[in-house]
């Protein structure tokens, strides 16, 4: 991932959102989710895509506060209680979300560390992962239904 061009990566995601929105089998409503680095990418897609309806970043790096007013998607934000590095950005992000009247909800999973959803790693937290996934599916059903 270190060799990826972040701007090109975002452009690819934006193209995917546009494609999915207009796909013949699409309702026209597009949502996306991402984990760790991908969670940060999803935050950037939310900033840059007016076509995105719902985004669920898992413990992703937050966008710059000045970019938050560009977000049109509803956000479901999952954070790990023990993830000090990522969590440092939450207060500023949440203040910007409120100021911009972005539709969002934050869940903090106490006792879980960064990458708690990754069931192939030592930081997997089954209880947090299952609850976060249930919330994610319910959120997408609510925000993307026709």
Q: Which residues are known catalytic residues?
A: 36, 83, 114
CATH number of the domain within which 108 lies: 3.40.50.1820
pLDDT digits (tens, 9 = 90+) for 91-135: 999 999 999 999 999 999 999 999 999 999 999 999 999 999 999
Residue 119 placed within a domain: yes
The total number of structural domains in the chain stands at 1
Taking residues 44-65, report their average pLDDT. 98
Enter the tokens of residue 136: 């994610």
Whether 20 and 40 have beta carbons less than 8 Å apart is answered as: no
Range of the domain at 24: 6-144
Q: What is the length of the chain?
A: 146
Residue 133 placed within a domain: yes
The Cα 135–Cα 107 span in angstroms is 9
Residue 95 placed within a domain: yes
pLDDT band for position 75 (cuts 50, 70, 90): very high
Enter the tokens of residue 115: 């990458």
The Cα 54–Cα 74 span in angstroms is 5
Query: What's the confidence (pLDDT) of residue 1?
Result: 60
Report the side by side order of strands in the sheet with 52-58: 30-35, 52-58, 74-80, 104-109
The Cα 128–Cα 109 span in angstroms is 6
Residue 1 placed within a domain: no
Taking residues 44-54, report their average pLDDT. 98
Residue 12 placed within a domain: yes
Query: What's the confidence (pLDDT) of residue 3?
Result: 82
Average pLDDT, the chain: 97
pLDDT digits (tens, 9 = 90+) for 2-44: 688 888 999 999 999 999 999 999 999 999 999 999 999 999 9
pLDDT band for position 142 (cuts 50, 70, 90): very high
Q: What is the pTM of this model?
A: 0.95
Helix, strand, coil distribution of the chain in percent, nearest 5: 45, 20, 35
Residue 38 placed within a domain: yes
């Amino acid at each position: 991932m270190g060799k990826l061009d972040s701007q090109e990566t975002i452009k690819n995601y934006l193209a995917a959102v546009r494609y999915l929105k207009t796909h013949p089998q699409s309702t026209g409503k597009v949502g996306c989710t991402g984990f760790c680095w991908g969670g940060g990418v999803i935050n950037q897609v939310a900033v840059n895509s007016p076509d995105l309806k719902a985004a669920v970043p898992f413990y992703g790096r937050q966008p710059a506060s000045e970019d938050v007013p560009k977000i049109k998607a509803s956000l479901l934000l999952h954070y790990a209680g023990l993830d000090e590095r990522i969590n440092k950005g939450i207060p500023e992000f949440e203040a910007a979300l409120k100021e911009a009247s972005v539709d969002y909800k934050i869940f903090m999973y106490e006792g879980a560390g960064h990458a708690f959803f990754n069931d192939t790693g030592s930081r997997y937290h089954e209880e947090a992962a299952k609850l976060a996934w249930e919330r994610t599916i319910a959120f997408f059903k609510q925000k993307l239904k026709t």
